[in-house]
């Protein structure tokens, strides 16, 4: 399901990701421990809850953000995968953190199939999933730490997929 949210550019999202890294004092950490961050986020945000639930309770969903409850829920398999360094699972947790930070207090509008399939196309920068994916990439791959690295090195050093590494590498190269 696709949702429309207030517009945010990649630069807006990059600034937020960098501010969070600064706030958490992890500006120089090349491979963020996203599990530890989510497990301890309540120390910085009294309202936040992180819950690991049995896979069957998530009904085929890896993780979700429940804004009205200030909660991120993750299924056990994804949680254990992230602990073990699985790139997809790490990205999933960072993606949910993006939803939590970007969309908690916003008006979210469900897009119809007709709209999200392209007939009345919504720009990507107004789509919640694009914004959360962009946040995950920007947060897990900090530009100043990967300067001069190849996508393969970014993937290995930052614990992200090749696809994420290639996207971030391309985006950072555009700014040069």
Encode pLDDT of 89-116 as tens digits. Answer: 999 999 999 999 999 876 656 554 444 4
Encode pLDDT of 37-95 as tens digits. Answer: 999 999 999 999 999 999 999 988 999 999 899 999 999 999 999 999 999 999 999 99
**Distance in angstroms (rounded) separating the CA atoms of residues 19 and 65:** 21
Does the pLDDT at position 171 exceed 60? yes
pLDDT at 29: 97
Contacts 24+ apart (CB under 8 A), 17-22: 17/135, 17/138, 17/139, 17/142, 18/138, 18/142, 20/101, 20/139, 21/139, 21/142
Q: Are the beta carbons of 98 and 135 closer than 8 angstroms?
A: yes
pLDDT at 116: 46
Residue with tokens 């699972």: 89
Q: Is the dihedral of CA 8, 85, 21, 166 positive or negative?
A: negative
Q: Are the beta carbons of 136 and 95 closer than 8 angstroms?
A: yes
Q: What confidence category does residue 125 fall into, taking pLDDT thresholds of 50, 70 and 90?
A: very high
Please state the domain extents for the chain.
Answer: 3-174
Q: Output the CA angle 76-81-85, nearest 5 degrees.
A: 150
Contacts 24+ apart (CB under 8 A), 42-51: 45/70, 48/72, 48/100, 50/74
pLDDT at 42: 96
Nearest to 94 by CA among 151, 13, 148, 4: 13
């Amino acid at each position: 399901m696709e949702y429309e949210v207030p517009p945010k550019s990649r630069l807006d999202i990059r600034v937020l990701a960098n501010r969070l890294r600064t706030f958490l004092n992890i500006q120089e950490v090349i491979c963020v421990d996203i599990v530890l961050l989510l497990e301890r986020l309540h120390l910085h945000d009294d309202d936040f809850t992180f819950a690991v639930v049995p896979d069957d309770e998530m009904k085929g969903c890896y993780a979700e953000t429940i804004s009205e409850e200030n909660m991120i829920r993750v299924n056990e398999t994804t949680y254990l995968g992230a602990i073990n360094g699985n790139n997809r699972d790490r990205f999933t947790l960072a993606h949910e953190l993006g939803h939590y930070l970007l969309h908690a207090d916003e008006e979210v509008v469900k897009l119809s199939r007709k709209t999200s399939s392209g007939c009345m196309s919504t720009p990507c920068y107004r789509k919640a999933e694009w914004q959360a994916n962009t946040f995950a990439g920007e947060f897990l791959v900090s530009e100043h730490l990967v300067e001069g690295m190849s996508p393969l090195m970014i993937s290995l050093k930052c614990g992200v997929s090749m696809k994420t590494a290639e996207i971030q590498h391309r985006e950072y190269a555009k700014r040069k």
